[in-house]
Amino acid sequence: MSKKITVSKAIREGLLEEMRRDDKMFIMGEDMAVMGNVFAITTGFLDEFGPNRVIDTPISEEGFLGMAVGAAMRGMHPCVELMYDDFVTVCADPLFNQAAKLKYMSGGQCSIPLVLRMPMGSGRRNAGQHSQSLEGMVCHFPGLKVVAPCSAADAKGLIKSALRDPDPVVVFEHKLLYAKKEEIPEDEDYLVPIGKANVKREGKDLTIITWSREVNFSMEAAEKLAAEGIDVEVLDLRTLVPIDWEAIKASIAKTHNVIIVSEEVKRGSYAGEISAQIAEELFDELDAPVERVCGLNIVSPFSPVLEDQNFPHPDDIVKAVKRVLNK
């Protein structure tokens, strides 16, 4: 059995089921309790679980994430939300120096079962400080798992898997996917395994590696290319760390051409890290150089016309595929 719900409601459903299953879990963040989250994801949670498990915080990301790390060390299972992923820079120390490292620095004596949810991405006219895609920065730090779902089913399945993981997991949720309606399984035990990519579309001419909202744009581009006789494979990573390298190898061994599509700023991007790894380890499989299709190296504009030029659209992906294939 399945049902059709939005991505935001799928995340809400995953959180709700895990809160009911695990009495050590609690939720905290700005406007998470009384307001029920700026995207209405935790509406009603305060009434059901009370103020000890659904906690409104001050605008002090470093403070409340640090508190969550301490709670995780003591055996609790915190789920923290930053209102925007842009604010991860404010709480860099508790995330990158504490949550990511304490298991290793304690010789495995403590684990940090912490989930950090972060809405990400451009397109909502939120300007430079509320529109970034910072997955590349987060993926740099060993000790963190990182996921970025593109669908309602994956959003629910990955958030539930993250909440059951003994290690810190960062969940990037694109803001413009929240309203997208899709079918999801009606199963409280439905999980999507962390570390497994998903072939969204099989093809033989070229592989598109992507994640989050750009999966949808890549699928649109694939349909346009199919009409011109170009058959591309779309590989949705879903998990960025640990990356599903076997899925990448299998796809490139079949198509021998690859582009990587992401919304993040191109300079210093995670797309660049993946392209370097492909060049180092799969060079002999390639018929052409790897190409990246990413956001521009600029501050995200407030102007709608300018902002829409700042991240890849289907036509940009089509052009990149044709360049690689020399079409």
Pair of tokens at residue 176: 């413009």
Q: Which of 17, 130, 182, 307 is catalytic?
A: 130
Q: Convert the pLDDT of each residue in 49-103 to its tens digit.
A: 999 999 999 999 999 999 999 999 999 999 999 998 999 999 999 999 999 999 9
Q: Which residues contact 4 (CB under 8 A, 6 or more apart)?
A: 181, 182, 183, 184
Q: Convert the pLDDT of each residue in 219-239 to its tens digit.
A: 999 999 999 999 999 999 999
User: Phi and psi dihedrals of 246, rounded to 5?
Assistant: -65, -40
pLDDT for position 53: 98
Average confidence score pLDDT of the chain: 95
Q: Domain of 297? A: 198-325
Model pTM?
A: 0.95
pLDDT at 3 over 80: yes
Domain match, 234 and 314 both: yes
Q: Which of 18, 61, 233, 264 is catalytic?
A: 61
Q: Which residues contact 21 (CB under 8 A, 6 or more apart)?
A: none
pLDDT for position 125: 81
Which element (helix H / strand E) includes 26?
A: strand 25-29
Domain match, 159 and 270 both: no
130 labelled catalytic? yes
- Give the DSSP letter of residue 61: H
3-class DSSP assignment, residue 72? helix
DSSP 176-230: GGTT-EEEEE--TT----TT--EEEE--SSEEEEE-THHHHHHHHHHHHHHTTT-
Domain match, 106 and 177 both: yes
Domain match, 15 and 159 both: yes
pLDDT for position 129: 79
> Residue 268 belongs to a domain with what CATH number?
3.40.50.920
Dihedral (CA of 66, 71, 74, 79) sign: negative
Domain match, 176 and 215 both: no
Q: Convert the pLDDT of each residue in 265-297 to its tens digit.
A: 999 999 999 999 999 999 999 999 999 999 999
Domain match, 70 and 216 both: no
pLDDT for position 127: 80
- The residue that leads in pLDDT, 150 or 130, is 150
pLDDT for position 108: 93
Q: Which residues contact 306 (CB under 8 A, 6 or more apart)?
A: none
Please identify which residue in the block is written with the tokens 């989930």. Answer: 115
**Residues in the chain, overall count:** 327
Q: With b meaning 16 or more CB within 10 Å and e meaning fewer, what string describes 230-241?
A: bebbbbbbbbbb
DSSP 227-294: TTT--EEEEE-SEEES--HHHHHHHHHHH--EEEEEEEESTT-HHHHHHHHHHHHSGGG-SS--EEEE
pLDDT for position 31: 93
CA 115 – CA 186 distance, rounded (Å): 23
pLDDT for position 303: 87
Domain match, 94 and 45 both: yes
In a domain, 193, yes or no: no
Query: Phi/psi class of residue 17: alpha, beta or left (left: φ > 0; alpha: ψ in -120 to 50)?
Result: alpha
Binned at pLDDT 50, 70 and 90, residue 298 comes out as confident
DSSP 99-127: ITTHHHHTTTS-----EEEEEE-S-SS--
